Amino acid sequence: MPPRPAPLPEHMQAALGGFGRHLAAERGLSPHTVRAYTGDVRSLLEHAAQGGITAPDGLDITVLRRWLAGQHGTGHARATLARRAAAARAFTAWASAGGWLRRDPGPLLGTAKIPRRLPQVPRQDQMAAVLSAAGSFPRSRSARGQDSSSGGQDADGGGRSSSGGSRDNSGGGQDAGGDGQDGTRGTEAELALRDAAIMELLYATGIRVSELCGLDIDDLDEGRNTVRVLGKGGRERTVPVGLPAVRAVAAWRRAGRPPLARPGSGPALFLGARGRRLDPRTARRVVHARLAAVVGVPDSGPHGLRHAAATHLLEGGADLRSVQEILGHASLASTQIYTHVSVERLTAAYRQAHPRA
């Protein structure tokens, strides 16, 4: 086992604890993000403590730059360095506002620009083939074992907080296991309905897999063809849903969910084979299996379906602001990458078709 890090000086530990509570309670960030940011800041404070600094007020731009240079020297990727610099800036801004720092050095800390990689997105005809197959073929041997590959253990977190929200879940945990161990044949048809609904809904709405697993039964409004989603930072939004997805989810609710439901299932829309709220890992395995079942489709996972939904919306004439609202992006800059994908495809089609391209 690696040696445990030395404890931080008292004032630094107190500041780190306060920063973590600020991220969770005031900014509403997910537990995963809070752990990542506080871990990065702990690394910064440990570096400062090694230099004889015992309180946050001793942090200045020189300390921040030396710490980040040391991170770069250990071979971390640019994306990791950018996140750690962002965590440091968030901490110094919070510490300055709270009186821990007299002057905020964070704005002076720069990071190398991260190259934006264009996502690999299935074409519209490929998605049509995937969804057609998902709604028609029985679950394969590998798909039948998806819900059991985690050994039947419940995932931590049990509720709608996986995407940063705070709605209550009376289901008592998430289902990361099941149909390979207790009645695979009896649940095969029900799980096939669930898997088809998952694929249709992810592609129709572009929601994140954590948001999908956090949905409750009443979140889908079949009358208005919309779904209420609790996204990052506890922000709620309403997303339009196409008729094929509405019908797939309705079929799951009517014929698939009741046989799997247990007293502890609560209001969760999607269930694992053991009746608990579906775990995101299981949902990812479902998507990978469905994409792999159609030859030639890039295996990009649930986030690939999100990319595909956004790209195909733009290709169909949707404006960027509308796509931003549908995806739940806080910044339009996060949505703009999809315009690059669409333009790239348009350019490729032009070069192939135009006689003087």
What are the catalytic residues? Answer: 208, 232, 303, 306, 329, 338
Structure tokens that stand for 85 in this block: 């610099």
How far apart (Å, rounded) are the C-alpha atoms in residues 122 and 306?
11
Q: Distance from CA of residue 138 to its chain's centroid?
A: 28
End-to-end Cα, the chain, rounded Å? 60
Q: How far apart are CA 231 and CA 110, in angstroms?
A: 29
DSSP alpha helix (H) spans, the chain:
10-21, 31-50, 61-73, 78-97, 124-134, 141-144, 184-205, 209-213, 243-251, 257-260, 280-292, 301-315, 320-327, 332-335, 337-353
Closest alpha carbon to 327 in 243, 235, 262, 196: 235
Rounded Cα distance between 69 and 22, Å, is: 27
Q: How many residues comprise the chain?
A: 357
Which residues, other chains included, contact 261 with Cβ-Cβ below 8 Å and sequence gap of 6+?
271, 275
What is the torsional sign of CA 33, 39, 42, 44?
Answer: negative
Alpha-carbon distance 50 to 14, whole Å?
A: 17
